[in-house]
Amino acid sequence: MTVDPMYIVTASVGVVGVVEWLKNLFPRGAQGLWTGLLPGICTGVAIFGGGDWTQIGTNALVTLAVSEMSYPILVQLPKALVDKFRKSLG
């Protein structure tokens, strides 16, 4: 049983994108709600990826971990750069 690294990276970027889209769709939602939904979204992505239950569980956990680690790089860093650029414009 192996985990395809490209699947994990792609799935994690997709999960972060879906969570950010949901945050923008429902901006008044509590932060805890999105944190609670993240494992479910990762599990859904892993089920879609296929495999036996062990593979699905592994993919879900790894996708969750990579999504959590990549959030600052994919969302927070670009947002900070855009905010800094806007501030420099005046």
| Domain parsing of the chain, residue ranges | 5-89
How confident is the prediction for the chain on average, in pLDDT? 79
Mean pLDDT score, 15-21: 78
Say what the pLDDT of residue 21 is: 75
Name the pTM for this structure: 0.62
Coil, strand or helix at 29: coil
Q: With contact defined as beta carbons under 8 Å apart, do 67 and 12 qualify?
A: yes
Written as one letter, the residue type at 69 is: M
Mean pLDDT score, 25-38: 70
| Alpha helices by DSSP H, 1-90 | 5-25, 31-49, 53-71, 77-89
pLDDT band at 7, cuts 50/70/90? Answer: confident
